[in-house]
């Protein structure tokens, strides 16, 4: 005989399991930044759900989440950087026939008020990017790049050309999005990848340009240094001119400097006009003995009075027509008649 109590417990357990499964199937969470589009048996009903927790009829109803935050779609020549694992840049040809890869990033968002229409038209974001965004960009860039140069003032990689490509691409996408629940925010031409041979030629050209600039700077520095030396030389010449004029205006100073320069321990014979003009001083060496005659090629030098003794500390400075002075001799008669040498 079947135990009714056991049957009841089993039935309750089965119902509880079905209830938990049903509750799990009925619960649906719409993530933040998304809009939930309600479907019945796979067909869009036109009803939407905001982000948060919602209950649906299991099996009958489903909610498809559509991201309404700004999205970016990138096509890049660098593997793994774009929305595909492989290199995905747009390849175009310039007017020169060179193949150039262009990296592009498109920023857009889906209208939150038309999320159900978006699902009806495109189903998901991947379909939109693959079927509308990429073909539009590829077509526009290829048409526009065909009128641009690879190098030169209007080269495709120059800032002005890149801005032009971005502007025309944005206009084309806006026209394509006009009838769609999609809002374009920005188009960026991120990079223009030239062929390696052209890249190398441009690098060499830039290096040569930099070398020219360095050489020009060096020349300017040399010119500045030469000008500085010229100014310094002119300044020294001016000083010499000023000092010479001062001595000419004060001959007594020049005469005193002449007498001071003759002091040094030897015997100096200075004739009249002892400022050095027109007469050659004679050096008499007191250490030289054994000769009785004083010889000199300058016949204008007067004879030395050997009986006179003058201290080196008291040079004679007279008037313009002053007598010869003997400096540095204690007693010339004691050492005999010294030899005379003419100062060259």
- Residues 61 and 170 both lie in one domain: no
Indicate whether 284 and 309 sit together in one domain: yes
Comparing 294 with 193, which gets the higher pLDDT?
A: 193
Considering the entire predicted model, what is its pTM? 0.53
Do 293 and 312 belong to one domain? yes
Give 176's pLDDT tier (boundaries 50, 70, 90): very high
117 has pLDDT over 90: yes
- Is 337 a residue whose pLDDT tops 70? no
For residues 316 and 265, membership in a common domain is answered with: yes
Residues 339 and 228 in one domain: no
| Structure confidence by residue, pLDDT tens digits, 54-63 | 888 887 888 9
Write the CA distances from 250 to 162, 214, 253, 257, integer angstroms: 80, 54, 6, 12
| Percent above pLDDT 70 for the chain | 62
Over 70: is that where the pLDDT of 110 sits? Answer: yes
Q: How many helices (H) and strands (E) does the chain have?
A: 7, 13
Domain final position from 219, 249, 279: 249
Q: Which helix (H) or strand (E) covers residue 231, if one does?
A: helix 196-249
Question: What is the model's pLDDT at position 254?
Answer: 66
Same-domain status, 82 and 23: no
Q: Are residues 84 and 181 in the same domain?
A: yes
Q: Is the pLDDT of residue 163 over 50?
A: yes
Q: The domain that contains 110 carries what CATH number?
A: 3.30.479.30
pLDDT, residue 18, reads 60
pLDDT, one tens digit per residue, over 198-221 is: 666 655 666 667 777 777 888 888
Q: Residues, the chain, total?
A: 344
* Number of structural domains in the chain: 4
Same domain, 213 and 112: no
Please give the residue range of the domain that contains residue 301: 258-344
Domain boundary among 176, 194, 212: 194
Whether residues 155 and 88 fall in one domain: yes
Q: Give the mean pLDDT of the chain.
A: 74
Burial of residue 35, with CB atoms counted within 10 A of its CB: 0-12 exposed, 13-18 middle, 19 or more buried: buried
Structural contact between residues 294 and 332, judged by C-beta atoms closer than 8 angstroms: no
- Which of the pair, 343 or 268, is modelled with greater confidence? 268
**DSSP letter string over 312-334?**
TTS-----SSPPPEEESBS-TTT
Helix axes 134-145, 159-177, angle to 10 degrees: 140
- Verify that 152 and 203 share a domain, yes or no: no
Domain boundary among 14, 38, 67: 67
Q: State whether 305 and 281 are in the same domain.
A: yes
Which stretch, 44-58, 130-144, 322-336, has highest mean pLDDT?
A: 130-144
In this structure, the answer to whether residues 240 and 306 fall within a common structural domain is no
pLDDT at 307 over 70: no
Do the beta carbons of residue 264 and residue 285 sit within 8 Å?
Answer: no
Tens of pLDDT, residue by residue over 267-287, are 555 555 544 444 555 545 555
């Amino acid at each position: 005989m079947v135990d009714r109590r056991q049957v009841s417990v089993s039935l309750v357990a089965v119902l509880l399991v079905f209830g938990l499964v049903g509750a799990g199937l009925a619960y649906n969470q719409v993530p933040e930044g998304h809009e939930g589009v309600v479907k019945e048996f796979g067909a869009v009903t036109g009803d939407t759900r905001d982000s948060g927790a919602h209950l649906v009829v299991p099996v009958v109803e489903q909610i498809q989440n559509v991201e309404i935050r700004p999205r970016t779609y990138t096509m890049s020549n660098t593997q793994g950087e774009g929305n595909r694992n492989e290199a995905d840049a747009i390849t175009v040809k310039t007017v020169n026939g060179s193949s150039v890869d262009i990296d592009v990033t498109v920023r857009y968002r889906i209208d939150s008020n038309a999320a159900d229409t978006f699902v009806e038209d495109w189903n998901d974001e991947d379909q939109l990017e693959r079927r509308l965004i990429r073909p539009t960009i590829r077509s526009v860039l290829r048409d526009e790049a065909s009128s641009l140069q690879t190098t030169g003032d209007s080269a495709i990689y120059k800032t002005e050309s890149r801005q032009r490509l971005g502007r025309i691409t944005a206009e084309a996408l806006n026209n394509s999005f006009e009838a769609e629940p999609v809002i374009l925010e920005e188009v960026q031409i991120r990079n223009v990848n030239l062929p390696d041979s052209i890249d190398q030629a441009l690098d060499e050209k830039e290096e040569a340009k930099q070398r020219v600039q360095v050489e020009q700077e060096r020349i300017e520095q040399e010119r500045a240094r030469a000008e500085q030396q010229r100014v310094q030389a002119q300044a020294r010449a001016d000083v010499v001119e000023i000092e010479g004029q001062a001595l000419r205006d004060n001959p007594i100073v020049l005469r005193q400097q002449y007498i001071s320069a003759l002091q040094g321990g030897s015997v100096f014979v200075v004739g009249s006009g002892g400022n050095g003009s027109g007469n050659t001083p004679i050096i008499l060496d007191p250490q030289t003995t054994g000769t009785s005659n004083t010889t000199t090629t300058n016949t204008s030098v007067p004879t030395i009075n050997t009986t006179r003794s003058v201290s080196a500390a008291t040079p004679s400075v007279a008037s313009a027509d002053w007598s010869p002075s003997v400096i540095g001799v204690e007693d010339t008669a004691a050492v005999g008649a010294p030899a005379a040498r003419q100062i060259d």
